[in-house]
């Protein structure tokens, strides 16, 4: 059981937790009395008054116990929040992926296969998600229909609709693709 002065501190935060529970309870479950935040506030102010003006009164602990009981689970949540001390966050180094990568048919390893070669020297990992925009068709190509993913790049699929003829080593050597990468 915390001292009355600690109950006064915990009750301030318990009031906020109770108000949040009431706000959520209207949508999900009506288990918290909608008057609870106001009751905690009123009784906390009475305890605050007693702490300021009647600190040696024998009823001080009774008022503190009543406020603590009124706070219930929200008082315990407030106590845990205030006394836990928090933790520390160790910032990591973010991985920044340059996207999109501009490639041309000249970057292809073969007539239909791009293996990650690009003028920006970006290593395309197998864990990356790719989206392929073909500038000649002015559209994104559908994965599994117009292209398939490989470990380091993609292969063009001649599907007969979007891609009717493609050869990166000859006719499409100047074709421009934009590869959008997300981790």
* pLDDT at residue 40 in the model: 93
Q: For residue 3, give the nearest of 84, 78, 65 by alpha carbon.
A: 65
183 or 131, greater pLDDT: 131
Could you tell me if residue 60 is inside a domain? yes
Could you tell me if residue 47 is inside a domain? yes
Task: Give kind and range of the element (H or E) at residue 23.
Answer: helix 4-25
**Phi and psi for 50 in degrees, rounded to 5?**
-60, -40
Give tens-digit pLDDT for 33-77.
888 999 999 999 999 999 999 888 888 889 999 999 999 999 999
* pLDDT at residue 39 in the model: 93
Instruction: Please tell me the total number of residues recorded for the chain in this structure.
Output: 183
12 with 67, same domain: the answer is yes
pTM for this predicted structure:
0.47
Residue 86, sorted as left (phi over 0), alpha (psi -120 to 50) or beta, turns out to be: left
* pLDDT at residue 28 in the model: 58
- Where in the sequence is the domain holding 72, given as residue range(s)? 4-83
């Amino acid at each position: 059981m915390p001292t009355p002065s600690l109950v006064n501190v915990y009750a301030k935060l318990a009031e906020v937790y109770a108000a949040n529970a009431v706000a959520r309870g209207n949508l999900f479950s009506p288990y918290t009395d909608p008057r609870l935040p106001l009751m905690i506030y009123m009784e906390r102010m009475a305890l605050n008054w007693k702490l300021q003006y009647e600190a040696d009164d024998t009823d001080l602990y009774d008022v503190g116990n009543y406020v603590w009981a009124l706070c219930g689970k929200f008082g315990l949540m407030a106590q845990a929040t205030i006394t836990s001390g928090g933790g520390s966050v160790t910032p990591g180094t973010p991985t920044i992926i340059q996207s999109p990568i501009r490639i041309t048919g000249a970057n292809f390893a073969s007539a239909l296969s791009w293996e990650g070669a690009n003028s920006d020297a970006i290593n395309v990992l197998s864990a990356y998600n790719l989206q392929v925009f073909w500038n000649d068709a002015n559209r994104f190509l559908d994965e599994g229909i117009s292209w398939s993913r490989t470990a380091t790049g993609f292969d063009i699929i001649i599907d007969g609709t979007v891609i009717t003829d493609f050869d990166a080593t000859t006719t499409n050597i100047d074709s421009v693709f934009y590869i959008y990468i997300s981790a």
